[in-house]
Structure formats: structure tokens, C-alpha cells
Structure 1
Amino acid sequence: MEEKKSEERDGDCVPTGESPENGVESRDKWANKREFLLSMAGEIIGLGNVWRFPYLCYKNGGGVFFIPYFVFLFFCGIPLFFLETAMGQYTSEGGVTAWRKMCPMFQGIGYASQVIVLYLNVYYIVVLAWAIFYLCNSFWPTLPWSTCENAWNTELCYDHRSAEDPSWGWLNGSVQDYYDDSMRFFNTTVSFPLKRTPEEEFWMFRVSGAAGWSGLHWEMVGCLLLAWVLCYLCVFKGIRSTGKVVYFTATFPYLMLILLFFRGITLPGAMMGITYFLYPDLSKITDPTVWRDAGTQVFFSYAVCQGVLTALGSYNKYNNDCYRDTYALCCLNSATSIFAGFAVFSIMGFMAHSLGLDMSEIMSGGPGLVFIAYPKALSMLPWSNLWAVLFFLMILFLGLDSQFVCVESLATAITDLFPGQLRRKGRRELLVLGIAVVCFLLGLPFLTEGGLLLFQIVDTYGPSGVSLLFIASFQCAVIGWVYGADRFMDNIEDMIGYRPFPVLKYCWMFVTPLICMVTMVFELESGAFTVDPQYTMGTAMSLIGSLLVALPLLCVAVGVGVAALKDPDRLTTPCSSLRQARPQRSLLSLCKRVIFRAQAAPPAAAEHQMAMDGVGGV
């Protein structure tokens, strides 16, 4: 009877790669290490490297911004990146079941990360729809956003070739210029500025839904559908298709970025732009908002707390050196961000020089940089159509691999939750199709009048700094203090053949959660957690924003409650199928003092990773 009860308790821990059921397929592995590295690079190197990091450097003191950025990178970004990747490789499970196997009490962390991924799957691809729309319009003989002679232009439009005193108010991030009537999302009434550039009017009246139509923008719906078709074709076969597609999608943007870089630095005014990018303003180093921006940039650009790294790592062989991979990928990501800053600011410097403006009048972050400021700069170049095509192809592929890897992460998590039902022939394709259809339908509101405001609300309150910081703090606390930092280091040593740098243990236990909690408290107290500081959101939008923040956090609390009710005797006991190379050693020790002693050793037969990979431990 006791043996039967033990089997029931471990029912959720059956190794998903081995199943006695007929027709259940084994879990895939990467065909080679290149596919894993390119998939990881495609996920973490995305639009944020091009449109957010350069602007944040300029905004937060130029070269001074590198100081808080690298502090967050070394003490938060890298420890979390390695933790999640190693968890996936160790358990061979996706974002939810990895936590269920290692610490059942806190499997809610896995569900919280999948909620974040769901947010990203719904709204991030809208940016790809915008990029496809711009790409299609780049083939017109005259770039449609470069003149005021189009059907959508108004009498307020002016052409920079014939007008003076340009107004760049939109680019400075104010949402009040989007509407000429009462904004339904905010309790205010505003009007348009006196002048608008053709790039602004193209964005407002043809692309973003800020004004100019009611209901769905059907051209954008078609672009969104095309984006989802591309995404589905990249991921429907799992890593068998993803691993091949990334050879192109992860490398092509680098070719485009290199071309834009060398074209940019040869233009007049390029050095002015690069100087604005790098010139250090030492007074900014004591500004807490600079540190907050650095932290949120690291968390978002490194895709931590989203379950994606765990999902990709789960397809590695047990003895893959994920420790070395982590440092290589993190160096590549940060180097790409800095290199993109040179490419962006050299061309923006050329535009400022040509228009006789200061850089502060034309710089913007987010969509304003990619879809207004940069297209304007490209329209001023010889062969402007060619450069526009290359630029928007780069934007499309930068976002595409991040998008389909997020879909892969969600599909992996769901499949690992229900392997008996979904790991069968043809089921994977149907699951991914279902995810694509649901996310496509949920994305349609972003393509209506007011869709841009909704986009900003989801961007601010969905995969927000507060949610990510909360999840990061819990991840580190659970691994460091509940599962046991020493035990996890033993697991990693068993996988890669050597023990990682000891500082990682203390980062997981103390440094990373402390930094995350302090940053989260500051973000909440500073009032930065708003869409626009000039307006008070209406009740409906406030409720939506609060729900977007609360849902991931509730997953953690609900997960603890469900685990306590389901099996109170195994709240912190890892699954017996997980290999423990040194079960007799303490879970955690500090200053040569044992904090938590070893738990009961798992059955000797629990060697599923080694059996699948055909390798031995250390």
C-alpha cells in the first residue's frame, strides 16, 4: 500500500522522454549545439537591442549608462540566465514541469512565466505586422512616408524638404498627440499639434490606429495574419523546424546591421550622433531612474523569467556545457546592443546634421525610433528604397525569431504538462495552430482605432518590470534556499563536469533577489509604472492594467496552495526521476556551517537524463 501511494505521489514526475504508452513519441533533442546557440541568440537579440538600448544610453547619460547596465548584467542577468538554462537542461522539462520536478511547492513560478510569454505572444507580433506593412510600402517608387502628397495626408502635413521649424513632439514619447477628439482610454481631451511630418502622418493615419479609421484596419489585419503564418511555418514541427530556420533568421539581421553601420559612419554628421550616444554625463550616475532603466533593459533583453530559456535548455543533452554557453550568449547580446547603438546614432546624426537640428529634437525610443525617426533618415539617403527594404527586413527577422521561440516555449510547456495526449503524431502541429489562432484573435484589438494605446498599456503592465522582478526574486529564493544552492551546484557540476564560479551561489541567495526587490520597490514608489505621467487612466483601463500585473503574481500563490492541498508531504521534495550525483551532501551550507541537511536519497533507478543521452556522470 505504501509503495502504491509513493507511485501516485510521483505520478507527475514520470520522465517525459520515456513513456510506455503506445504512440507516444520521445522528446526531441537539438541536432547539434549550433541550433541551440542560434535559437537562444535569436530569442534574446531582438527589437529591444535596436530601438530601446541605444535610446536609453542617450537618455541616461551616454557612456555612464554602461555602469548600471553592466552591474545589473553581472549580478542579475547572467545568474538568472544561467539558472533558467541549467534548470531546463537538468530536468529536460519546459517552464512549468521543470519547477514541478525540482520544487513542487513553487510550480506556480512556471505558470507565472508562461503568463508572461502569453502576453508577449499576443502583442509583440503586432510590431512584426507594422514592419511587414512598412516593408511592402518600401517597394513604391517614392517612399509613401516621405511626402505630403498622399490621400491620407492633411493640411497640417509639411515636407522637410520645403518646410522649416519642424516639430518632433510625437517622438518625445507623449501620447496626447495621437487623437484629435476625446480619448476613450483617458480622462482628458486633447488636440493635434500645429504641424506634422509626413512620417508622423503615415504612422498615425496609415499604420498605428492612432487616428483616421474606425473598426479594424484590414490591411494591418492581413499583415498580422502573414506574420502568424510565417511564425507557424517556423515552429510547427518543434525544434526540428526551429533549429533549421534560425540559421537564417538569427544571422541575417547581423548582415543588415553591419551594412547599416558602415553606411552610417560614412555619412556627414555621423560622429555627432555617435558622440551623443557615448558622451558620459557623470551627473546621471546618482539618478535612481537610470539604474531602474538599466535593470529593466537587462531583464527584458535577456528573456529571463519567461520560461523561454528553460524550454530551449531542456532540449540540450545532459552533458552540454551550458555554463560556457551562458557567458558566450550574454556577451553576444550586450555587444550587439552596443553595436546597434553605433548603427542607429550614426544615421540619426546624419539626419540631425542635414536638417540643422539638435539630436534631442529627433531622438525617440520604442516605435517612434523604428517607425518614424529612422524611416525619415532613410528617406534622405540615396537609394532610399533599398535601404528601407534592408532595414525593415532586419526589423522583421529580429522580431520573428524572438516571436516563434516564445511560441515554442509555450508549446513546450503545454506539451510537457500533457505528454500522453500531445506527444503523438500530428498533435504538435494542431497545438501550435491553436496557439497561433487564439493569439491572432487576441491581437486584433491592437489594430483598431486606439490600438496603439492598448499596445502601450499591455507593454507597460504585461511583461512589466514589476512582474519580472517579482518572479526573479522568487526564482532565486527558491533555488537558493528551498531546493538548495549547494545541491543545484552539484547538479550543474554533474552535468558539465566542473563546478561553476562560487559567486553564482551567493548571487542566487542574496545579491540578485536583493537588487530585484529594491528595484521593484523603487519602481512602484516612483510612479514610473504608468503609461503616461500626464494623464490619469480611466477605471476600465486601470483594471486591465492591474489584472495584467496581478495574474502572474497570483499564479505563484495559487501554485503554493494547490501543491499544499494535493500532496503536503512532498512540497519541497524533488522528483525521484531527477539524478542526484551527491544525495548525501547537504542542500545548503554557509561559512562551513550546514543550513539544510540532505533529503532522503532518490531511487537508484532515477537516471533518465543519462539513459536518454547515453553518457555518464562525473
Structure 2
Amino acid sequence: MTEEKARGPSAATVGPDEGAREEGAQPRGKWADNKEFLLSTTGGIIGFGNLWLFPYLCFRHGGVVFLIPYFVLFLFFGAPLLFLEIALGQYTSEGAVTAWRKICPMFEGVGMASQVATFYLSTFFIIILAWNIFYMINSFKSPLPWSTCDNWWNTELCHSRVNMLDNSHLFSSNTNWSFLNNITLPEDFESVQYFNVTDLSQPDSSSEEEFWRHRLLRVSDKLLGEVHWDLALCLLLAWVMCYFCVWKGIKSIGKVVYFTATFPYLLLLILFFRGVTLPGAQQGLYYYLYPNFSRLADSSAWEDAGMCVMYSCATCHGVLTTLGSYNKYNRNCYRDCMVLCCVTCATSIFAGFIVFSVLGFISHTQNVPLEEIVNAGPTLIFISFPLALSMLPGSTFWTVLFFLTVLLLGVDTHFMLVESLATSITDMFPRHLRRPGAREILVLVIAVVCFLLGLTFITEGGIIAFHLVDQYGTSEIIFLFISCLETIIIGWVYGADRFYDNIEDMIGYPPNPVIKYCWMFITPLLSVILLLCRLANRYSLSVYGYNLEPMGATIGAIILVIPLMCIPLFILVALWRNPQNMISSSSDLRQLRPHKPLLTLCKCVILKAQGQPFRTAAERHEKIMMEEPSGV
């Protein structure tokens, strides 16, 4: 047998930046320059979590002390996964599904599971953008509609905190209001509390809460009910923006991210300087940064740090593998990952200063303990911040600026999810979907399907469906299970030593050996521990007073199981296709040292080599010719 036959039919003819192609398929594109990949990945991993999750967890778990479990888990859990997924995409030049098929056909379902979860995310994540667009449109009204109780959606229990602060002398206990109705006041009038902070914190008490619940969500006791068409138009606008960012693939994404990934930092900087100059900002920053070392002994701090790291790195969604697959073969992805880790950590910490300076301002102006107004999630963005911004001079400007920032933080995260789906499907059927015009149609189909499904979330009972998908469809259980399998497959099935050699072949030197042991032991162990902690927690099945048991638990369990079922299903498919070759990697993959054992531990051979021959001199020359200039 000749050397060329032993390598397989395509190894000698396919360059490292092209990858194997089916007959009739067009070649895959590559990023136009180094900056496009970094900006795209930054936009993909920087999102709402940096703004509403990390600052809240810092406050909840001991201030700056929370950085200790956060950085520990970032170093041994988040960063190894981030590097693994980007390097995997760059090495295979394949999307999230076919990359795993090439590495180990038996575990193609791992990639499929991530894409089903990404489909869930693509359908419901954009609803938050639609809400944001709705708020931003209403921000141009004067007065801001959530700052008063004079609107058709307000109830008799409504209290406008902005008006009370502007006219605090009218709400003192000894103020005589009898002239309004020409009535005689009771003798105990002076004991009446007109500004009860505790009551205002309850549902339907504040104008901001009523705008959120009665104007935006319009919650009713119906399971679904009618579609709110004003929100549907906002959802349509969000999908139109997303479509025209993604429709040309990396050609359009690479240009759009120059704006969507950088401009939010300018807006955040403006909000930072405005926030820290507000009255009471110092009090908020004190709560954010005050160290409470006793919290380190609380297991929930470490558990929440792991969840926060996973969201901060956007791992196990297939997005990182997809974006890495468009890199040139010899790009220094190791250096890129270190840059991305620094950026996401710095952004989260910086966002915390903005959030808590504003919350401190609310606490100061309302004389309310800060603990009562600190929230994570949509409540922070759509209730707390609108309240604070409506108190400022020039409130319209600051409100529009804030919601524009949130929109840009979210939109590039979302169109990276759609890009992951489009790339994965295209790579599964390259002969049909790499033709001119096919990608545009594919992205349009994805957008239309997700838009129609998304209408479910903007009905009268849509928040219930939204809660179920949020709790189950994007559950940490799915992503932790995937993270555990990814590291086990690379470390123990494909071979950590072989993957290290692949990375050395790409970047020119081997990465830090600690990462190898993270893939083999530390990261999967942490994934299992975090997974068990999540399984022990019972999900909340109550939304605005509606108990979703038992039907909600049943529907949620089905949503949760669907992506996980892809893993055993594709094991059976691999068994049916080729039972003798279920764990053998594709012959298309380049190997630096094919006769070297795939995995060694303490000088003991754990996995033997597959016996592939060394590369020819022609193939070595081909790599040199494909190399790109150094530098970022």
C-alpha cells in the first residue's frame, strides 16, 4: 500500500484551510483578517449575563470575595472549555455537529444536542430583545410612560415613585388633602402612611412594575391567549436586524461586529461616568465591593460561580466551535483565548460598577435598603434601571442610551447563535447548502420558524412559556452534561496528547500542559459536581402567582430531555453506519505525530497510536504556503 493510499483519498489534495469537501460543494470561507474573529467572538460571549448576573452574584456572595471562586472556576473550568471548543473548530474547519463527527463519529450527538439547545436559545432569547425595543420606543415619550400612574394600564394600587420623590412634601403624614374632595378627614388621619416602602415593593405597587406587567407582558389567566401585535412587530424588527447581520455568513458578520462589538463599550463608559457621579453611588459600590470572607465557606457561592463562568464563556452552545472553524489553520487560537478570557472578566467587573452605582442611587433617593432592590435578570433591566433613569435630568436621553446599549449587547450574541445553527446545518449538507443563494434561504427559514415559535412567548400567557423554556430548554443541566462529555471525548477517546499535537501543528508550539490535565480530570470533575448540584435544586414552577405543576413539570421535562436524547440516538446511528469505526477519527484530519500514542499518563501509554503515516514533504510545504502573517 502506498503512503498516499494509506492517508486516504483527500489528505494529499486538501489544504489545511479548506478541509475535506464533498463533490460539488463550494469551499468554506475564512475570516478576512484577525480582528474579525476576535470581535465576533467577543460579541458572542459578552451579553446580558455580564450586565445582570455577575454583579448580582458578587453582591449576593460577599462582594469582591466572589472573585476568588469566580477566577478559580474560570481558570479550571471555563477557560479550558473555551480553548477546547475554539481549537476544535479551527482544527476541523467544521461546525458544531460535523466537528464531533470527525473527531469521534460515535459522539456526533454531542454537537447535535448543543444545536438543539441553541435552537431553544435562538427562539426565546430574542424575546428579550423585542422587550428592549418596546422599551426603547417608549423611551421617546415625555413623560416616560412607566414614571406615572395616569395611563390606561395602571390600577388603583399604582404609586409613582418619581412623582413622590419630586413632591415629597405632599406625601408627608400631616398633609391635608381634604380640599380635593371636600371631605372631613378622620381623627386618626395623621397615622396614615402614604408612602409605605414595603407596600411599594409588592407587585402592582409601582408604576414601573405595572408598566412591565400590565403594559408589556399583559399577563392573564389564559394558558396562551391572543398575540400582542405591538410586541410582535418589535420581535419582527429584531429578526430583520438579525437576518441582515447573518445572511451572508462571515462576510456580513465580520463587518457588522466592528460596530456591534465595540460601540457598546463606549456606551457603557458613558453610563459608568454618569452612574458613579450620582448621589448614593458610593453606597452602592460599597455593597458591591465589600468583602465578606465567610461566604467562601458557602457551597452555593462556588456553584453560582460555576454557572456564571459557563454563561460568561458561552461554552457548550456550539458558537465557539463555529466561529473557530472559520479561522485559518495556523491562527494562534491559544493567544486569542487568553485575550477573550481577560475581556469577558473585565467586562463583567466593569458592568458591576455601573449597575451598583445606579442601584445605590435608587437606594439613596428612596431611602430603601439596597438589599430590597438588588435583582438579577430582566427585573434589573426593565424595572430597576428605568426607575433610576426616569429620576435623572434629561431622562429621555439616558433611557434611550441605556436601552441602545442593552440592544447592542444582545443582538450580536443572538446572531452568533443563529450563525451557529446555519453553519452546522450547512456543514451537514454541504453539497446542497454551499451553493450560491442557498445560505440566504437557509437563514431566512431559520428566522421565520423561530419568529413563528417566538409568537408563543408574546401572548397573554407567554411569560409562562418563556419561563418553562428558560428553566428547562436552556437549563444548566444540558450544558454541564455536554461540557463533561466534550472533555472526556477529547481527553480519553480522541486522546489529549494527540489533540495537543494538533494544536502545536496549528500554532507552532504546545500550549501549557496544565490544560491537558484540566481536560482529563479537573474540568469533567467540576462539570459532574456542578451537574449534581443543579439536579439537587428544584426548579421554580410559579410565575406571577400561577402554579405550573404538574403539567409544567411534564412539559419542562420533555423540553429538557429532547437535546440530551440526541446523544444516545447518534450512538445508535454510528453503530448502524459503521460499527467497526465508531471511535476512529476522520482520515481527513492532519496529524503531526501519527505514530505517537494518543494519550500517555505518568509515562504509561493509555491510548495507542492509530498507526497513520507521517505527512509527506509536499503536505508540509502546503502548510507553510497557507500560513498567514503573524500579529493581531
For residues 479 and 500 of structure 1, do their structure 2 counterparts lie closer, same or farther at Cα, with a shift above 3 Å needed? same
Q: Deviations over 1:369-423 (max 9, x none)?
A: 0000110000011110000000000010100000001100100000000000000
Render the CA deviation track for 1:312-350: whole Å, top value 9, x for unaligned.
Answer: 000000000000100100110011001000011101101
| 2: CA distance, partners of 1:197 / 1:613 | 66
One of 540, 547, 570 as aligned partner of 1:530: 540
Query: 1:230-287: CA deviations, max 9, x gaps?
Result: 0001000000000000000001111111001000111110010011111122222122
Which letter does structure 2 place at the counterpart of 1:247?
A: Y
Within the candidate set 559, 563, 585, 1:548 is matched to: 559
Please report how far the alpha carbon of residue 450 of structure 1 lies from its aligned counterpart in structure 2 after TM superposition: 2.0
One-letter amino acid matched to 2:540:
T
Residue type of the alignment partner of 1:202: F
Answering whether residue 236 of structure 2 is matched by residue 228 of structure 1, we say no
Which residue pairs with 1:435 in the alignment?
446
* Post-superposition offset of 1:607: 9.2
1:526 and 1:37 map into 2 onto residues whose CA distance is: 36
Partner amino acid for 1:139?
Answer: F
SS of the residue 1:69 aligns to: helix
The answer for the alignment partner of 2:185 in structure 1 is none
Residues 205 and 211, structure 1, Cα contact 8 Å, conserved in 2: no
Q: What amino acid is the match of 1:356?
A: N
Q: Deviations over 1:575-598 (max 9, x none)?
A: 111100100111000111111110
The amino acid of 2:385's aligned partner reads Y
Partners of 1:317 and 1:613 within 8 A in 2: no
Residues 22 and 430 in structure 2, CA contact (< 8 A), matched pair in contact too: no
Matching residue of 2:213: 204
Tell me which of 455, 464, 478 is aligned to 2:466.
Answer: 455
Deviations 1:48-104 (A, max 9, x none): 110111111112222221111111100110000000000000000000000011111
Check conservation: 1:461, 1:546, Cα contact below 8 A.
yes
Paired residue for 1:120? 121
Among 571, 579, 583, the alignment partner of 2:590 is 579
| Pairwise CA distance, 1:535 | 8.2
Query: Aligned equivalents of 2:380 and 2:325: distance in 1?
Result: 36
After superposition, give the CA deviation of every residue in 1:282-314 in whole Å (9 maximum; x if it has no partner).
Answer: 222122222111111111221101111000000
- The code of the aligned residue for 1:265 comes to V
- Cα 1:308–1:378, aligned 2, differ >3 Å: closer, same or farther? same
- Bigger Rg, which one: 2
Percent identity between matched residues is 53
Q: Quick one: structure 1 residues 5 and 65, their matched pair in 2 at CA, closer, same or farther if it must change by over 3 Å? A: same
- Residue of 416, 431, 434 corresponding to 1:420: 431
Contact 1:578 1:606 in 2 (8 A): no
> How many Å separate the matches in 2 of 1:98 and 1:62?
40
1:340 maps to what in 2?
351
Contact 2:134 2:231 in 1 (8 A): yes
The answer for the alignment partner of 1:218 in structure 2 is 229
Residue 183 of structure 2: aligned partner: none
Question: Is this contact kept in 2: 1:578–1:607, CA < 8 A?
Answer: no
Change over 3 Å in CA distance of 1:564–1:479 after alignment to 2: same
| SS of equivalent to 2:606 | strand
Aligned to 1:294: 305
Q: Give the equivalent residue in structure 1 for 2:367.
A: 356
1:595 aligns with 2:606: yes
CA contact (8 A) 2:15 2:623 kept: no
Residue identity opposite 1:493 in structure 2:
E
- Cα 1:536–1:447, aligned 2, differ >3 Å: closer, same or farther? closer
Partner of 1:102: 103
CA contact (8 A) 1:576 1:603 kept: no
Structure 1 window deviating more from structure 2 (486-495 vs 155-164): it is 155-164
Confirm or deny: 8 A CA contact 1:253 1:394 kept in the other structure. yes
Q: Using the alignment, how far apart are the partners of 1:608 and 1:405 within structure 2?
A: 34
Pair 1:468-2:479 in alignment: yes
Separation of aligned partners in 2, 1:569 and 1:197: 66
Computed over aligned residues only, the root mean square deviation of the Cα atoms, in angstroms, reads 2.7
**Alignment CA distance shift 1:71-1:606 (3 Å):** farther
Counterparts of 1:314-393 in structure 2 under 5 Å?
Answer: 314-393=325-404
- Rounded to whole Å, the distance in 2 between the matches of 1:146 and 1:411 is 42
Looking at structure 2, the residues matched to 155 and 85 of structure 1 have their Cα atoms a distance apart, in angstroms, of: 55
Distance in 2 (alpha carbons) for counterparts of 1:503 and 1:521: 25
Matched with 2:189 is none
Cα distance, 1:342–1:6 mapped onto 2, change above 3 Å = closer
CA gap of 1:328–1:115, structure 2 versus 1, over 3 A, is: same
Q: Which stretch shifts more, 13-22 or 379-388?
A: 13-22
Partners in 1 of 2:200 and 2:618 — Cα distance? Answer: 62
Q: Which residue of 1 aligns with 2:155?
A: 154
Q: In the alignment, does 2:126 pair up with 1:129?
A: no
> Is residue 2:408 matched to residue 1:397?
yes
Amino acid of the residue matched to residue 229 of structure 1? V
Distance 1:154 1:530, change over 3 A: closer
Q: CA deviation at 1:604?
A: 4.9
CA distance in 2, matches of 1:59, 1:215: 38
The AA in structure 2 aligned to 1:567 is N
Counterpart position of 1:189: none
TM-score scaled by length of structure 1: 0.91
CA distance in 2, matches of 1:548, 1:605: 49
Q: What's the secondary structure of 2:605's corresponding residue?
A: strand
Structure 1 regions of 5+ residues with no counterpart?
A: 171-176, 178-192
Quick check: 1:577–1:607 contact (8 Å CA) kept in 2? no
Going from structure 1 to structure 2, the CA distance change for 1:14 and 1:326 (only over 3 Å counts) comes to closer
Q: Distance in 2 between matches of 1:370 and 1:168?
A: 21
Deviation at 1:142, TM superposition (A): 1.1
Aligned match for 1:565, one of 576, 595, 598: 576
Q: Decide which of 453, 469, 481 is 2:492's aligned counterpart.
A: 481
Is the partner of 2:291 in helix, strand or coil? coil
SS, match of residue 226 in structure 1? helix
* Structure 2 spans left out of the alignment, 5+ residues: 165-193
State the partner residue of 2:75.
Answer: 74
Question: CA 1:9–1:610 in structure 2 vs 1: closer, same or farther (change >3 Å)?
Answer: closer
Which moves more between the two structures, 437-446 or 453-462?
453-462
How far apart are 1:8 and its partner, in Å? 11
d(CA) in 1 for partners of 2:9, 2:546? 55
**TM norm structure 2:** 0.89
2:19–2:92 contact (8 Å) kept in structure 1: no
State which drifts further: 596-605 or 247-256.
596-605
| 1:247 is the counterpart of 2:258 | yes
